[in-house]
Structure 1
Amino acid sequence: MPVKPMVVTPDDARATDFDEFYRARFQSLTLQLYAYAGDLAEAQDLVQEAFCRAYVRWQKIRDYDDPAQWVRQVAWNLATSRFRRRRTAANFLRRQRLTVVDGPDPNRVALVRALSTLPPKHRRAVVLHHMAQLSVAEIAAQEGVAEGTVKSWLSRGRAALASQLRGDAS
């Protein structure tokens, strides 16, 4: 069987041209970024990202006097952006650590525990009325029930809470 000659399409030529450029420049650019970043894996990621961006624009970039300069500049810009993001995050965390937050108040823990034992409708009514400051009429409208039903839920919820909290105090 005769071997058919390989026909190179423009996309194949672009890929071949880029592959050669990549092989020739990846290591040296990675070493430069490694010296700057201090982390080989990060340097490889940065250079890889720069090459990915170059590949998309390769038709234009390959005609530059020094395409490697474009890739190098993109990689350095990416590294600078990462450093800035990390510095911003570190500053944020440092500020957060300065704020000392006391643990939850024992009364609050007891209240939350007692609320968790109530039936959902009673709990919702108590929370909406006493914490969200909604009136009985507003709760009734929100829940789609009569005001008397809300009053019943509140009464039963309060009684159960009182029983729970008295039990926790003893």
Structure 2
Amino acid sequence: MIPADFVREVYTASYRRLVVQTYAVCGDVGEAEEAVQEAFVRALGHGRSFVTLDNPEAWLRTVALNHLRNRWRHAEVVRRFQGRLFEPPTHLELSPDHVVLVEALRRLDRAHRTAVALHYLADLTVAEVAAELGVPEGTVKTRLARSRELLGPMLSGEEADHG
């Protein structure tokens, strides 16, 4: 059994940050919240081994991102067999800058968007991002450089043709 105070402490310290990072990857706040909540549920299932982790937040982020990947795989299978599914729009109050950032991130492919979210929002080093994604560090550096190149004009208000 995990001490309730430990879970509360990790939740208080990490929940919002994990949701923001996950939201940057998936672009849907409801999906991000669900993934992070699922990570906390799995942490509770791990009992005392969760308490002994060197970095519980990193473990939770990995679980949340894996949950998203599994959902995306499942959704792809469903789309193949049932046609296109539409998700209801999510209503939330976000600052205009946040909306612009998420819209710009949505224009990146999933691999680039994930690298950006992990590096800039989760504050992981290039080596940590590479380890989490299972790719070489050079790949992460290339994705980050290309992402900056693509995001720059979008975030500065200039629209460039990247087609």
**Structure possessing the higher radius of gyration over alpha carbons:** 1
* Bigger share in helix: 1
RCO comparison, higher one (Cα < 8 Å, 6+):
2
